[in-house]
Amino acid sequence: MTRLDVRELNGNCTGEQVIEFLDTFAQRCDPQRWTVVVLDNAPFHKGAALRQRIPHWETLGLYLRYLPPYAPMLNLIEAVWRRLKGFLLPRRCYDTVAELRKALYAALTVLDAQFI
């Protein structure tokens, strides 16, 4: 089963934010059943601090796997962005960030995203 979990970040994504997200996500996992998170090769997905947390997450049933480099066709989030930009978000300029955020949240809700 594929599920889309979302957390809004302010500013650039950092390794610390990814670790915090995965810590939160791991608490929802069942140690008796594998939960696999597929990551691309962005630097904030591969830092030393993140790698140190992997054994702990695996005890909770959370396993990380990485896509091969330069393989956007295997990255499921690309299809999500394509649906968001191509069909679910009105094609217009938003007057405020708040308006854009509201439209994005509505579109993600249509995709049955889980906000964590």
pLDDT tens, N- to C-terminus, the chain (116 residues): 677 888 888 888 999 999 999 999 999 999 999 999 999 888 999 999 999 999 999 999 999 999 998 887 887 778 888 888 887 887 778 899 899 889 988 999 988 888 88
Domain boundary assignment for the chain: 11-71, 75-116
Task: For residue 41, give the amino acid letter.
Answer: N
Distances (CA, A) of 89 to 41, 60, 104, 114: 27, 36, 7, 18
